[in-house]
Amino acid sequence: MITRLAGAFGGPEFRITYPNGDETAYVCVVYEAKLTDPGALRPDGVEVDRVRWFQRDELGNPEVGPFAQATFRSLGWL
């Protein structure tokens, strides 16, 4: 259940240039939510290939990815 909007983030850390020269910019919208059924959290196999929980001290792990890390920095978590 979504409880509040935590923030909307964009800027230089959310831009990417692809090998073919195409450029794009992302806006990341973060919601705070209360998990009501932890067992229901599963990848759909189409857009999400895996789901994993991280401890706060693991958020800088390269496995998390650059856009997620930029979001965590914007939230003040890194």
pLDDT (tens digit per residue) in 17-59: 999 999 999 999 999 988 888 777 888 889 888 888 778 888 8
Residue 14 domain-assigned (yes or no): yes
Ordered DSSP codes for 11-76: SGGGEEE-TTS-EEE--EEEEEE--S-GGG----SSS-S------GGGTT-GGG-HHHHHHHHHHT
Q: How confident is the model at residue 67 (pLDDT cuts 50, 70, 90)?
A: confident
Instruction: Specify the number of domains making up the chain.
Output: 1
Residue 40 domain-assigned (yes or no): no
Range of the domain at 55: 2-35+50-75
2-17 pLDDT per residue, tens: 899 999 999 999 999 9
